[in-house]
Amino acid sequence: MNGPGSRLAASRSGNLRLGHTMVQVNMAAREITVKVVYYGPALSGKTTNLQQLHAWINPDSRGKMVTLDTTDDRTLYFDFLPIQFGTAAGFAIKIKLFTVPGQVMHKSTRKVVLAGADAIAFIADSQRSSASANAYSWRDMEANLKSNGIDFDAIPKVAQFNKRDLDDVKPLAEIKEQWKNIPAFPAVAIRGEGVLETFQELMRQLYRSIDERHEFGAKFGLSETDFLSGIFQILDPDSPPPQEVV
């Protein structure tokens, strides 16, 4: 090998791991498994995003959503939602969706949940009063990724600015200027607005990242169109139409 991340690495079970990512490919079963983490400050809407996706996804394509929370409905450890869909190339794509607890006291837990992540959706609170909490969570995410040996700059990321229905939120133009290098979406997750758009763009970024580094499409015959079409097929046709990226 030219390096630990330059080729496909095979495990004893016959699974393939793509370089430094935790993307797992089981060639015998024709399965590809990825891990996606929803990160952000406490009460920003991470769990709400997963709950909305759970409601929209065809029951045959999703597992049970597992939530470990406290009596005040704050996530204590994580939420977990497994989903699966097929592609025209004959692969089964398994996506493991996680959230992290946003409270400052659970920093060690966030690091554990973030380990092996392939992509991240950063869920921010749009209110000006939450700016410092958003900034702290972003820095915390960067530190935890580095501690886990994950390249902060390379990992696919999108941002969602939730709670657009509340008072004193940052204007979208200001958000666009501050987050110009990262796809960002306005959202009111409790009403489902912006949730699907955030997820779809993250999946697009994830595919392109894997394909760029490992020639994913050429090696497995799985194009970006096939990958994204598989996602669309498991979603409720009455889901809201896509919004423009901020």
pLDDT, tens digit, 9 for 90 and up, residues 8-23: 444 444 455 555 556 8
pLDDT of 229 over the 90 cut: no
Residue 66 to residues 50, 122, 187, Cα–Cα distance (Å): 10, 20, 23
Per-residue confidence (pLDDT) for residue 105, from 0 to 100: 58
pLDDT of 52 over the 80 cut: yes
Q: Return the CA Rg of the chain.
A: 18
For residue 102, the SS3 value is: coil
Share of residues in the chain with pLDDT > 90 (%): 44
Instruction: Return d(Cα 217, Cα 209) in angstroms, integer.
Output: 11
The pLDDT-based confidence of 199 (bands split at 50, 70, 90) is very high
- Which superfamily does CATH assign the domain made up of 8-233 to? P-loop containing nucleotide triphosphate hydrolases (3.40.50.300)
Per-residue confidence (pLDDT) for residue 239, from 0 to 100: 54
DSSP 122: E
DSSP string, 3-40: STTTSEEE-TTSEEEETTS--EEETTTTEEEEEEEEE-
Per-residue confidence (pLDDT) for residue 8, from 0 to 100: 40
Per-residue confidence (pLDDT) for residue 67, from 0 to 100: 74
Contact between 90 and 30 under an 8 Å Cβ cutoff? The reply is yes
Q: How many CB atoms lie within 10 A of CB 3?
A: 8
Closest CA to 73 of 93, 103, 97: 103
- State the DSSP H helix or E strand holding residue 91, giving kind and residue range, or none if neither: none
Q: What is the 3-state secondary structure (H, E, C) of 116-169?
A: CCCEEEEEEECEHHHHHHHHHHHHHHHHHHHHCCCCCCCCCEEEEEECCCCCCE
Report domain extents, the chain. 8-233
CA torsion sign, 201 to 21 to 8 to 5?
positive
pLDDT of 237 over the 60 cut: no
> What's the pTM?
0.85
Under the phi-then-psi rule, with left for phi > 0, alpha for psi from -120 to 50, and beta for the rest, what region is 146? alpha
Residue range 208-231: mean pLDDT, rounded: 86
Q: Please, which residues bridge with residue 39 across strands?
A: 122
The pLDDT-based confidence of 208 (bands split at 50, 70, 90) is very high
pLDDT, tens digit, 9 for 90 and up, residues 110-142: 888 899 999 999 999 999 999 999 999 999 999
Per-residue confidence (pLDDT) for residue 126, from 0 to 100: 97
Per-residue confidence (pLDDT) for residue 130, from 0 to 100: 95
Q: Which residue has the tokens 């702290």?
A: 136
pLDDT, tens digit, 9 for 90 and up, residues 77-93: 556 778 888 887 788 88
The pLDDT-based confidence of 242 (bands split at 50, 70, 90) is very low
Pairing verdict, β 119-125 and 157-162: parallel
